[in-house]
Chains A and B, each alone.
Chain A
Amino acid sequence: MDQNQVFDEMWGREENLRAPYGLFKSWFDGEEPKRLRAKQREAEELFRLTGITFNVYGQAAAEERLIPFDIVPRIISGLEWQRLSKGIEQRVRAINAFLYDIYHGQEIIKAGRLPERMITDNDAFLPHMIGVQPPGGVYTHIVGIDLVRTDDNQFYVLEDNARTPSGVSYMLENRETMLQMFPELFARNRVQRVENYPSDLRSSLAACAPSVAGSSPTVAVLTPGIYNSAYFEHAFLADQMGVELVEGHDLRVIDGRVAMRTTQGYKPIDVLYRRVDDEFLDPLNFNPDSALGVPGIMDVYRAGGITIANAPGTGIADDKAIYSYMPDIVEFYTGEKALLENVPTWRCSEPDSLAYVLDNLSDLVVKEVHGSGGYGMLIGPTATKKDIAEFRKKLEAKPGNYIAQPTLALSTVPVFTRAGLSPRHVDLRPFVLVSPNKINITPGGLTRVALQKGSLVVNSSQGGGTKDTWVLED
C-alpha cells in the first residue's frame, strides 16, 4: 500500500507530529537505542516468566509461544476516546436489545429491518434461548469491539465480539510491563488507568447474579483447561478477581443449582463467567460428546438458577452475516443514528453484490461468515492469482458463506526496530462490561499490530503482536 495513503497515528499524513505523541517523542529522542533494545528483551523475559503464553491450534500442546510485544505505546487523546466510547456504548446497548428481541418478539423482523432468514438459517441462532429471561436482562456481559482507524476522525467497527472476547489479559500485562520498564514515561504522561478491570469485572458480574443468589454472589470462571490456547488468561482473570477457576468436571447440577466440588463438599455458583463455547457448555442440551461442560446447566439456567456470562446464543449478534445490518440494528433499538460506522460490506448472498465481488476480488477482503482468527479469508491486494482463482471457486460454490469488504488503509503506529521507529498497521479492541445499570468501558483496550512491514493481518495466530494502549487524561 502506498505509504502516503496511510494515516500514521504519530505523524499523521504529512509528517507533522500529532499532539498525543508529543511527550513520548521528546522522551524517545533522549533515549539510547541500545538501552531500548535491552528493554525490549527485558519485556520478553518478563512475559515468559509470567507465563503469558498461548498455544497455537494444531501444534503440540507443549508448544507455548509468546505474543510479541512492542515497547512503543499507542497513544489516543482523551477527546478522541470520549467520542469513541460514546459510539461503543451505543453499539453495545443495541447489541443487548437486539439479542433480547431476537429471542423474544423479533420486532426487528416484523418491522422489515432484518430478513427473517438471517435468523432462521443462521447456525449462530440458538433455539434453546427462545423466551429465556437472562438474569438482569444482560446477554453480553463482556464485549470486545474491534475497531480500525483510517484517518484523524475516522474509525470503523471491523467486528463485534459478543461471545467470549479474549485478549484482556494482554491489555493488563502490557500496561504492567510498561510500568515496570519505563516508570518515567508515566510520570510525564498522564495515562488513564486500566488496572481496575478485574475488580470492575467482578462487580459487574456480581451485579448480574440471579435472584437466588445471596448478598455476595459466588462467581467462578469456567475454562476448557490448561491446554486451551487462552488458559493463561482464564487463570489470570480468576486470580485477579479472587474467584475459583473451574473446569467442567469440577461442576455438577445439584438441587437445581450448578455447584462446584470443594474440599468441603459441593458449593453453589451464582455467576459463571464461562470461556467455553456454547456448543460445549452442556452435553445434555448441545454437543453430547463434550467433556468440557456441565450436564444440565442449561436447564438450571432456564429456571433462573445461574447466570451464564456471556449468555448462550449471543453469537447471533457478532455473526459476520448480521454485521452488515448493524447500522440498522443500532438505529432500530436506540432511535439514533449509529455513531460508529461499519466497514462497507457486500453480502455475497445477494446476487448483485456477488457479481460485484467476483469482478473485484483483487481489491477486496473476502471473509467467511463464521470464520475467526483471520483463517479462511482472502486479502485480494496481496493474494496471488492462484489464491484468487481458488477462492473464486469456493465463493461461487457457497456465496452465502461470504461477505466482502474494501481493503481499508488501516492506520499505522510506529514500532521499535533495529532501524529505529517504523510504521506498522494496527487495530484496537476495547473491552466493555455490561451490567443492569452500567456500561463500563476500560480506557484503551488491546492494540494488535502487524509486525511484518505492510501486512494488514494483526492476528496473534498469524504473527501479530501487541502494544500498550494509552488514553491520555486531557
Chain B
Amino acid sequence: MLGKTANGLFWMYRYLERAENTSRLIETGQRMALTRLGSSEAEWKSILQTAGVWHGFEATGEELTKESAIDWLLRSKQNPSSVLMSIEGARQNARLVRTALTLETWEATNACYMKAKELLARKVSERDLPATMGVIRQRTALVRGATHGTMMRNDIYNFARIGTFLERADNTARILDVKYYVLLPSVMSVGSSIDNVQWETILRSVSARGGFRMTYGNQYDPIDIAHFLILDGRMPRSLAFCIRKMRDNLSYLNATYGEVPESSRKIADLEEQYLSRDISAVFDQGLHDYLQAVLSRMSDIGAQIEKDYRFYE
C-alpha cells in the first residue's frame, strides 16, 4: 500500500470520528443549556475547549452565545474541526484513497458529504437542530456500517481503525481534562445538583450514560466515572479500550508486514505504564497530570505511526 494511502485512510476515519464527536458535544451543550444551572457562556466555552476549537473561536472576536458556539462547532468553514469541515475532510481523503475503499464505503461517504452540505448550507435553527444532527449521525453511521460490512480486513482496514481510535481516545482524554476538576474528590459535595449535572454532562458527551447505569446503577460517583472512562475495557470510548484497539490493529499490521516498528513499542509502553493501574493510582498522580501525560504520549505515537509507515516520506 502507498504511504500516502495509509495517511489518507488514517485521516479519513479520524475526520469521520471527529464529526461524530463534535456533533455529540453540540448535543450535550444544547442539552445543558436547557437544564441550565451554571452560567451558559462558561459551559459553551468549556465545550469549545473540549472540542479543541476555543482559541480559533476566540480569534474571530465574535461574542460567545449559544448560537455562535453552535454555528462554530457545526458549520463554520473557518473551524477545521466543525462537523461540516470534518465531513468534508473525510470525503476529501476518501477521494484521495478511492482505490482502497469499496464502492459502498465510498458512496456512503460521498452521500454523507452531500447531505451534510445540503443541511448545513445555512444556519440551523434551534428547532431544526435535533433532526439535523440525527440525519448527520445516521449518515456517518452508514459509512461505518459500509466499512465494517464490506472492507477487507487487511492493512487498509487497520489504518482506518488506527485513525478512528486515536481520534476517539484523544477526544475522551480532552473531555476528561477540560472537566477534570469536577471529578476531583476535594471539590466533591456529594449529591449536589450541580455536580450531578456536570457528571451527567461528561457521560452524555461520550454517549455513556446507559453503559454507566448498566455497570454502576443510578448513583453517580466521580471515581466510578473516571474509572469507567479511563480504565474500563468494555466501554468503547474509554482510553483503555481505544488504546488496546490501536495496539491490536498495529499488531495485525506487524503480522502482515513482518516487522515490529517503534510505534508498536510505544503503544505497549503507554498501555503498561498508564492503563494497567487502578483508578486510585491515577488520582494519586493527579488526574490532570495523568491526562496530560497520556495526551502527549498519544500525540507522540501518532507522529511515530506517520514515520513508521511512510505517510509523508
Point out residues on A near B: beta carbons under 8 Å.
48-51, 226, 231, 235-236, 238-239, 243-247, 249-250, 260-265
Contacts and interface: CB of A to CB of B under 8 A. Distances in A.
A260 B106 CA distance: 24
25 contacts: A48-B110, A48-B114, A49-B110, A49-B114, A50-B110, A51-B107, A51-B110, A226-B92, A226-B95, A231-B95, A235-B95, A235-B98, A239-B99, A244-B2, A245-B98, A247-B4, A249-B4, A250-B2, A250-B4, A260-B2, A261-B3, A261-B4, A261-B313, A262-B1, A263-B6
Given A243-B99, A250-B3, A261-B3, 14 more contacts: A48-B114, A49-B111, A51-B106, A226-B92, A236-B98, A239-B98, A239-B99, A244-B99, A262-B1, A262-B310, A263-B1, A263-B3, A264-B257, A265-B310
Contact of A51 (B1, B3, B95, B99): B95
Interface string B42-57: 0000000000000000
A229 to B, nearest CB: 13
A262 B3 contact: yes
Interface in B122-166: 155
Interface size band for B: 20 to 34
A236 B313 CA distance: 25
Contacts, number: 56
B95 A263 contact: no
Nearest to B311: A263
Contact of A226 (B96, B110, B257, B310): B96
Interface string B80-116: 0000000000001001101100000011001100100
Nearest to A261: B3
A265 B114 CA distance: 36
A130 B120 CA distance: 56
Tell which of A226, A231, A247 has the most Cβ of chain B within 10 Å: A226
Contacts of B274: none
Contacts of A50: 107, 110
Tell which of B2, B3, B5 has the most Cβ of chain A within 10 Å: B2
B309 interface: yes
A264 B309 CA distance: 7
Contacts of B155: 263
Contacts of B310: 261-263, 265
Contacts of B106: 51
A262 B111 contact: no
A390 to B, nearest CB: 40
A322 to B, nearest CB: 36
A238 B99 contact: yes
A238 B310 CA distance: 21
A245 B110 contact: no
A53 B3 CA distance: 26
Nearest to A241: B99
B99 A235 contact: yes
**What are the nearest 8 A-B pairs in CB distance?**
A235-B98, A239-B99, A263-B309, A261-B3, A238-B99, A263-B6, A245-B99, A51-B110
A239 B104 CA distance: 13
